[in-house]
Structure 1
């Protein structure tokens, strides 16, 4: 019983027979081709030229698979053992494409280069362990081809995605990130930072009870986050506007709204009222200047104009909360 608990269900690479080595190579090429096609499918709508690169690389993997199957048929017959990379201890792993989404241009190109490097290393090691001349030759040839795939991808990149196309794709990628994450997140941060100022500081100066103020701030922040998140997700499904997934936008808006409010609510966990209030005011101005920076950095709003709008508006709301709390 204990041996079954502690023993690994995976085979060691050295224990594989030559037939199993070929079967592992076949299943690996199948998986890699599917991954490249998934990359192509994920990129096709926004980056059609880059999608063609991965379609061509998938075709290369299909060619490798066909050559491996033909060799297996000649040596071992029609039945290929079922052995996959997850059955072999220490064998390289592949992440399914949904784990690396969103599929950024540079991200998938780097992933592809890593895949080719790992595949070349496998074929080099496998070639050392086989004695049949034809098998050894094929595995060695595939190792060289996998090494050359990166250059092949580079050549395809130069042909299908020249510099101007790559610049357009990266600009489109940045625009999509702004529409899906930055813009909703910024709106949420502004709402959470500014709209909660009045209730939090009104409660603070009305009660001068830090715990009660913290509870007011917590409820206002979480409530505003839920409201902003659902509003963002519900009012636009993203299909016509091109703003991306409503779930992603809703999460970005809701989370940043909550963070914006909690920034100046958390200081009221400090029991001394004036210490907590001083820290909260400092946090408020940090939040407002951060919002101005983000507007300037991503929304291309002139910094002084953004600072004037955000800081002045926030200061007026802060003053209103203090005045109401002292009334």
Structure 2
């Protein structure tokens, strides 16, 4: 009976450079971007609706983006050493995941640097829409997912989190 290591070595030899790039960079980056873009929506928008204060929403958004980035970096790096699965360096995957999580959460936080919370919200809605379209395009381009199906899945998920933030913020 072949050992797990010899079986994996044979499988690893069949992985193409493109598949390796997907496993080591694209997939961890996509997970991070999706998590950062979606998981930070509720705290940012809840804060904006509850306080009507752009500065406070910005601080909450920045804290959520930084915290989520650190959390996701450690989660990815500690989840798999890469030897058994062939996913490569856990440190590289952790850095990619953490950085993309931060970026995904911070981009729609930036509009709250505008002092007028209503203008900031309008710009943030637009940024979130662009983020969700970019995520859908990455899934289409690299994961061979239908663009329409990807848009539907990403927008439904993001919409649910966004709606929860509004409902909590207005309560």
Look up the match of 1:248.
92
Look up the match of 1:319.
163
- The yes-or-no answer on 1:269 pairing with 2:109 is no
Look up the match of 2:3.
none
The unaligned stretches of length 5 or more in structure 1 are: 1-45, 48-167
The unaligned stretches of length 5 or more in structure 2 are: 1-11
Look up the match of 2:82.
238
2 CA distance for matches of 1:215 and 1:177? Answer: 35
Q: CA deviation at 1:301?
A: 1.2
Corresponding residue to 1:217 among 46, 61, 70: 61
C-alpha root-mean-square deviation of aligned residues, in Å? 1.3
Look up the match of 1:180.
24
1 CA distance for matches of 2:92 and 2:50? Answer: 38
Name the TM-score, length of structure 2 as normaliser.
0.90
Look up the match of 2:134.
290
2 CA distance for matches of 1:316 and 1:310? Answer: 10
**Any idea what SS the aligned residue of 2:16 has?**
helix
Look up the match of 1:307.
151
**Any idea what SS the aligned residue of 1:228 has?**
helix
1 CA distance for matches of 2:117 and 2:84? Answer: 50
2 CA distance for matches of 1:187 and 1:207? Answer: 31
Q: CA deviation at 1:259?
A: 0.2
Name the TM-score, length of structure 1 as normaliser.
0.48
Larger radius of gyration: 1
Look up the match of 1:15.
none
Look up the match of 1:189.
33
**Any idea what SS the aligned residue of 1:309 has?**
helix
Size of the aligned set, in residue pairs, is 160
After TM superposition, which residue ranges in structure 1, 4 or more long, deviate above 3 angstroms? none
**Any idea what SS the aligned residue of 1:212 has?**
helix
- CA deviations on 1:80-105 (whole Å, 9 max, x unpaired) are xxxxxxxxxxxxxxxxxxxxxxxxxx
2 CA distance for matches of 1:239 and 1:315? Answer: 37
- CA deviations on 1:54-106 (whole Å, 9 max, x unpaired) are xxxxxxxxxxxxxxxxxxxxxxxxxxxxxxxxxxxxxxxxxxxxxxxxxxxxx
Equivalent positions of 1:1-327 (< 5 A) are 172-327=16-171
